[in-house]
């Protein structure tokens, strides 16, 4: 049990490609937005523009509307929730990157009776190749 808990913890610490991309963009995006806002407030002040309240308001609007907080916070939270749900369902996923890869999978084939199943055979569904009315005759 301790080994499984350690694997789950390691999986949650591994960042996915999307998480790394968002973190990398945030390194440049956030300071860039701050520079733009500072210029919007600072340049008119240096030029002694009379209506500074308008420029301060515009700088504040840029800061609020360009804030990437939702994206920066939601990416790791979504990955953490997915890994936690998988772990509570009995699935061990090595990291969020593997969940992203899993989203591109089209077909999954299993061939380990007794290993990944209970070993009890049952018909889960039946799809006839001909119409149901013809089966009655």
- Which residues are catalytic, by number? 111
Q: What is the separation of C-alpha 107 from the centre of its chain, rounded to a whole number of angstroms?
A: 22
Is 55 within 8 Å of 49 (Cβ atoms)? yes
Q: Alpha-carbon distance 7 to 84, whole Å? A: 12
- Compute how many other C-beta atoms are within 10 angstroms of the C-beta atom of residue 22: 19
Residue 77 φ then ψ, to 5°: -65, -45
Among candidates 77, 81, 70, 68, which has minimal Cα distance to 32? 68
């Amino acid at each position: 049990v301790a080994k499984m808990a350690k694997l789950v913890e390691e999986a949650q610490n591994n960042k996915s490609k999307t998480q790394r991309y968002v973190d990398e963009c945030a390194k440049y995006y956030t300071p860039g937005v701050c520079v733009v806002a500072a210029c919007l407030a600072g340049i008119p002040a240096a030029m002694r523009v009379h209506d500074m309240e308008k420029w301060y308001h515009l700088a504040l609007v840029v800061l609020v509307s360009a804030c990437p907080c939702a994206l920066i916070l939601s990416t790791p939270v979504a990955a953490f929730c997915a890994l936690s749900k998988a772990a509570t369902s009995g699935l061990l996923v090595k990291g969020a990157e593997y969940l992203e890869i899993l989203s591109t999978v089209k077909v999954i084939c299993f061939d380990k009776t007794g290993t990944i199943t209970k070993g009890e055979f049952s018909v889960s569904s039946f799809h006839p190749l001909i119409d149901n009315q013809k089966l009655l005759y």
